[in-house]
Amino acid sequence: MEKKLKVLLIEDDTIEIMKLNRTVSTLDIKHDIIEANNGEEALRILKEEQSLPHIILLDLNMPKINGLEFLGILKNDDTLKYIPTIILTTSNNQKDLLECYRIGIAGYVLKPLKYEDYVSKIEKLLAYWSINELIKA
C-alpha cells in the first residue's frame, strides 16, 4: 500500500521549492514536505525533529554547506546514514555523479528544463519510494 512520505527537501531556490510543493499538491497522496534552505538548516531540523524524514531530496548547488558536504556529514552519522537520499540537481557533472554514489545515495535525478517533465519525474520518484519499505525511526 502506498503510504504518505515525510520528505525533507533541501533546496535554496524558492521556485524549486514551489515546484515541488505544487507538484506534490497535485498528487493523490499528500506527502509531508519539510523545507530546509541549506545544509545547516537541514542538520538542525534533523536533530530537532521528533521523527526523521523517510527520504531526503538534496540539491547539490547550495550556499554554505553544499550538497556533497552535507551528504558526507549525513553518511558519517550512525543514525542519519540510513535515510535514503536522492540527489535532485541540474548538474550532470560526471565527477559529481561519481562522488555522490561513492559517498552513498539512493538516487540521482536531473532537473529537466520543462516543468511538465519535472512533474513527471517527481511523481515517479515519490511513487517509487512510497511503495518501498523504509526504516521507521
Q: Which residues bind other proteins (CB under 8 A)?
A: 13, 15-16, 18-19, 22, 60-61, 89-91, 93-96, 111-116, 118
- CB of 11 vs other proteins, minimal distance in Å: 11
Cβ atoms 100, 61 nearer than 8 A = no
- CB of 86 vs other proteins, minimal distance in Å: 17
- CB of 55 vs other proteins, minimal distance in Å: 22
- CB of 77 vs other proteins, minimal distance in Å: 27
Q: Nearer Cβ to other proteins, position 93 or 132?
A: 93
User: Which residue from 63, 58, 65 is spatially nearest to 40, judged by alpha carbons?
Assistant: 65
Q: Nearer Cβ to other proteins, position 24 or 46?
A: 24
C-alpha cell at 50: 521528533
Burial label for 47, CB within 10 Å (0-12, 13-18, 19+), is: exposed
Rounded Cα distance between 17 and 22, Å, is 8
Q: Nearer Cβ to other proteins, position 76 or 92?
A: 92
Q: Nearer Cβ to other proteins, position 3 or 111?
A: 111
- CB of 113 vs other proteins, minimal distance in Å: 5
Q: How far is CA 19 from the centre of its chain?
A: 13
Q: Nearer Cβ to other proteins, position 16 or 69?
A: 16
Helix ranges (H only) for 27-93 are: 39-48, 67-76
Beta strands in 25-106 (DSSP E): 32-36, 55-58, 85-89
